[in-house]
Amino acid sequence: MKTIIIDMDDVMADASAGILDVFNELNGTDLKKDFFKDKNFYDFMNSGKYLTYRDRLFDQGFFINLEVMPDAQEVIKELSEKHKVYIVSAATEFPNSLREKYDWMQKYFPFISWRNFMLCGDKSIVKGDVMIDDHEKNLKTFSGETLLFDAMHNQQLEGYHRVYNWQEIHNYFFKN
Ligand SMILES: [Mg+2]
């Protein structure tokens, strides 16, 4: 039995789709995730030519409306039956997100106990056997195995075991 640390945004919830919706609405663009296959999303957005989505994350309604990632519910349920699964989200920067993330979890992942759901600020204190996350800042301080969940802002990042979807994560745990 392993202790598995799972991130929410861009791992369980499709935050990038929500961010792109806001970005496109603010800038009158129609960018899709594929546009960032060969360029860094943050560099592009912070180039000075565009309005950024960031303030919108402090408003109500952003996190609660995110779509769940394909197969995340089924695979996390299966993982939680065989392993110790903890959902850990660096969320306290966005106070409105706390209630919304809790409600979102109740809606899509009711089988995850509140005991296994951590809303925090900095993940460097988190310990476990495997961490699944889309941000290097969280993975680089983790002492166990790491899985980098593919996202539009991490295309240039190398040196991590990259996974593209939840089926791959399922295979990682059940076919090894
Ligand atoms: Mg994330």
| pLDDT tens-digit series, residues 46-56 | 888 998 877 77
**Is residue 9 flagged as an active site residue?**
yes
- How far is the centre of ligand 1, averaged over its atoms, from the C-alpha of 81 (Å)? 23
3-class secondary-structure state, position 147: strand
Query: Which of these is catalytic: 7, 14, 133, 134?
Result: 7
- How far is the centre of ligand 1, averaged over its atoms, from the C-alpha of 56 (Å)? 17
At a CB cut-off of 8 Å and minimum separation 6, what does 135 contact? 7, 154
Question: Which domains does the chain possess?
Answer: 3-14+67-174 (3.40.50.1000), 15-58 (no CATH)
Looking at residue 147, what is its pLDDT? 98
Looking at residue 150, what is its pLDDT? 97
Q: Is the pLDDT of residue 94 over 70?
A: yes
Amino acid identity at 53: Y
- How far is the centre of ligand 1, averaged over its atoms, from the C-alpha of 53 (Å)? 16
What is the number of other CB atoms lying within 10 angstroms of the CB of residue 82?
12
Q: Is the pLDDT of residue 174 over 80?
A: yes
Query: Which of these is catalytic: 9, 14, 133, 134?
Result: 9
For the CA atoms of 103, 104, 106, 107, what is the dihedral angle to 10 degrees?
Answer: 120
Strand pairing class (145-149; 130-133): parallel
C-alpha to C-alpha distance for 143 and 139, rounded to whole angstroms: 9
Entry pTM: 0.94
Over residues 24-75, the pLDDT tens digits come to 999 999 999 999 999 888 889 888 899 887 777 778 889 999 999 999 999 9
- CA 172 from chain centre, in angstroms, equals 18
Looking at residue 176, what is its pLDDT? 61
What is the number of other CB atoms lying within 10 angstroms of the CB of residue 137?
11
DSSP secondary structure string, 58-104?
A: GSTTTTTTPPBPTTHHHHHHHHHHHSEEEEEEE-TTSHHHHHHHHHH
- How far is the centre of ligand 1, averaged over its atoms, from the C-alpha of 90 (Å)? 8
- How far is the centre of ligand 1, averaged over its atoms, from the C-alpha of 66 (Å)? 13
Over residues 121-161, the pLDDT tens digits come to 999 999 999 999 999 999 999 999 999 999 999 999 999 99
